[in-house]
Chain A
Amino acid sequence: MTTAPAIPPLHGKITVGVSAERAFDLFTRSFNTWWPAQFHIGQAEPAEAVIEPHVGGRWYERGVDGSECDWGRVLAWEPPHRLVVTWQINGMWQFDPEPANASEIEIRFTPDGPEQTVVDLEHRHLERLVAGQAMRDALVGGGDWRAVLELFAKAAVDQRRAGDQLL
């Protein structure tokens, strides 16, 4: 398979009226209090969204029915200045456990005065997310069947995971 061309990263920048320590803490430990509830991936209505406070930690939502839906993992946990998490929800609206298919979100907290912090966000490597292109290429014009089988295997794992969560 060929490497997908790079997709421009997304950027966001805001200034908040608290110290970097407070901003980092609020962003991570109080993630659930400010994250807009309308953005959720799971089928169930969201009860809470969580970033586990360590490298390798999970980033996920929990539905009102107790089901959990992973969004990604914590790659860098450097309070109070830097946080990197993966976003592993692909174009088929499913969590993709393969690290090679993970996009990354880096959030930087830069002091701009004693009680002022600039928060920069970059969401990059969007081209790594599987969006259905591989499946289409394989089905149209004798493409790479291995890719189809991989996608199928992945879907099966996802289905099983989803089934487990329902039990």
Chain B
Amino acid sequence: MDAYGDPGLGLLGDPTRRAIFELLARQPCSVGELATRLPISRPAVSQHLRVLKDGGLVVSRAEGTRRVHQLNPDGVTALRAYLDRVWEDALTAFQKAADNAGSEQEKQ
């Protein structure tokens, strides 16, 4: 995949960061909520969130006494970064399936 120097790209290459991103895509969450849904500690969640925030994919806001994190609503940078990962993985999976189909054909 081409990167275009987009700051959002590459950040979702890490599976844990992608898991956090996908959870936030469904609903804004606090660090604690993310930690209960993922097999990692709160400090680890915070660390990944920091990277996602620095990359402009995630923003946080205060909601009463807690801090919730959500995908950055400005523009589609986050969505583009996500889709870049989707296509990279999807095409790789398709290539594997097609090559398997091809070698099956040869055997017949």
Contacts and interface: CB of A to CB of B under 8 A. Distances in A.
Contacts of A43: 26
Name the prevailing secondary structure of the A interface residues: mixed
B75 A133 contact: yes
Given A16-B99, A93-B25, A39 B90 contact: yes
A18 B98 contact: yes
Contacts of A11: 1-2
Nearest to A18: B102
Nearest to B80: A126
B2 A126 contact: no
A129 B97 contact: no
Nearest to A5: B75
A17 B100 CA distance: 9
A8 interface: yes
Q: What's the interface size class on B, roughly?
A: 20 to 34
A167 interface: no
B54 interface: no
A8 B76 CA distance: 11
A126 B102 contact: no
Contacts of A4: 75
B30 to A, nearest CB: 19
A39 B89 contact: yes
B88 A91 contact: no
Interface of A: 4, 7-8, 10-18, 22-23, 26-27, 30, 33-36, 39, 43, 87, 90-91, 93, 115, 117, 119, 121, 123, 126-127, 129, 131-133, 135-136
A136 B74 contact: yes
Contact of A35 (B6, B71, B93, B105): B93
Nearest to A23: B98
Given A10-B83, A16-B99, 7 more contacts: A10-B80, A18-B101, A26-B97, A33-B97, A119-B95, A131-B79, A136-B73
Contacts of B93: 34-36
Contact of A91 (B6, B73, B92): B73
A7 B73 contact: no
Contacts of A23: 98
Contacts of B105: 18, 22
Given A16-B95, A23-B98, A33-B97, A10 B90 contact: no
